[in-house]
Amino acid sequence: MRIHSARELAWVVSSQRKKLGLTQKETGTLVGLSQKTISAFETKPGSTKLDTLFHILSAAHLEIRVISKDTQGKIEDEWNQEW
């Protein structure tokens, strides 16, 4: 999935959290963050510290993969092939 903004990332993480049936408080407890911190990320993701983001992603069972825009099309073509 391509994410183009902090807001989009927050929406994806929030959706995943809800899919897992976790409240903001439960999510924070899993990684030592407060409910207030989870809420702040979901409403104003642009001000979230990078370290905090990785904790939240971990609680939501998500990860970030970074690839070069130069190779992105090649990788997507490979992923669309049958194995």
Q: For residue 10, give the nearest of 49, 52, 44 by alpha carbon.
A: 44
**What would the pLDDT profile of 41-73 be if each residue is shown by its tens digit?**
999 999 999 999 999 999 999 999 888 888 765
Amino acid (one-letter) located at 27: T
What confidence score (pLDDT) does residue 74 get?
A: 61
Q: What is the domain-level CATH number for residue 63? A: 1.10.260.40
What confidence score (pLDDT) does residue 66 get?
A: 87
**Structure tokens of 12?**
């994806």
What confidence score (pLDDT) does residue 82 get?
A: 56
Q: What is the DSSP letter of 5?
A: S
Q: How many CB atoms lie within 10 A of CB 24?
A: 21
Q: State the residue range of the domain holding 11.
A: 6-79
Question: How many independent structural domains does the chain possess?
Answer: 1
Residue 1 lies in a domain: no
